[in-house]
Amino acid sequence: MPRAKKSRIQKQHQYRSNSELNTAFVLTKYNIEFKYEPYPIPYEWREDKKYIPDFILPNGIILEVKGRFMLEDRKKHLFLRDQHPDVDIRFVFDNPYRKLYKGGKMTYADWCDKYNFQYCKGGEGIPQEWFKKNAKRRHSSN
């Protein structure tokens, strides 16, 4: 028997979740004044991690092979480049034109272009110039 599709109901409130809405109702019920998300509080998330490259070429270029390119991967590579600007990481994607998010517009390729990472589609071959001894690296404009 086919499952019924869940329909997405459009929320009619300012809160990010029904749990927040319910909490606002309780506070209001008890006449408690409150502000909802009035300002951001900056913080730094620090974790000590290690990156293990997939492949390192003789010229020092690192090839990172990705089927799925998750948010954690993207953050990791931005942190890596920020902390190790001399390391040249290039992506070999199964499909660089896959969307980062379902329904989103940005693709893996768009993300690489935005953050100045070189990439290729693995099934079409790795660019031969990546194998050269003095392969040119993109310079970050960020």
pLDDT for 35 equals: 86
- pTM flag (> 0.85): no
**64: which residues sit within 8 A by CB, 6+ positions away?**
53, 54, 77, 89, 90, 91, 92
Residues of the chain predicted below pLDDT 70: 1-11, 136-142
Distances (CA, A) of 15 to 11, 12, 24, 42: 9, 9, 9, 21
d(CA 96, CA 68): 10
Query: Where do the domains of the chain lie?
Result: 55-131
CATH match for 55-131 among 3.40.50.150, 3.40.1350.10, 3.40.91.30, 3.40.50.300: 3.40.91.30
- Residue (of 44, 45, 68, 64) closest to 54 by Cα position: 64
